Amino acid sequence: MNDPEKLLNRLAAATRLEDDPPADELPLGLATRVLAKLREGRAPTLWETFALGALPVAALVTIACFILISPEAQPPDDADVIAHVMLETQLITSR
């Protein structure tokens, strides 16, 4: 057979014929472990711990930025002046 489609379908069909290993009973200790984990609650992941720790730092940096880079603190540069002039200039006048 040189048809890989057919080969894949036959392999998949044979795989489906395989019975799943029996799983009637709970493995010993599984329920106890799950219950213990449920009791202790979900531990935060590394990412969550980092994100929570970084939150106050990010808030401080944001506040500092607002204070230091306020619009009043900086004189308008050339680009701002040119943009302002262009906005103010009427390019087409209506008769």
Where does this chain bind other proteins (CB under 8 A)? 1-2, 4-8, 10-18, 20-21, 23-27, 30-31, 33-35, 37-38, 42
**The residue type at 71:** P
Reading the block at residue 11, the tokens are: 């392999």
Q: State in angstroms the smallest separation of the CB of 53 from other proteins.
A: 24
How many angstroms separate the Cα of 67 from the Cα of each of 41, 60, 64, 72, 85?
41, 11, 5, 10, 28
Nearer to other proteins, 12 or 69 (CB): 12
Q: State in angstroms the smallest separation of the CB of 24 from other proteins.
A: 6
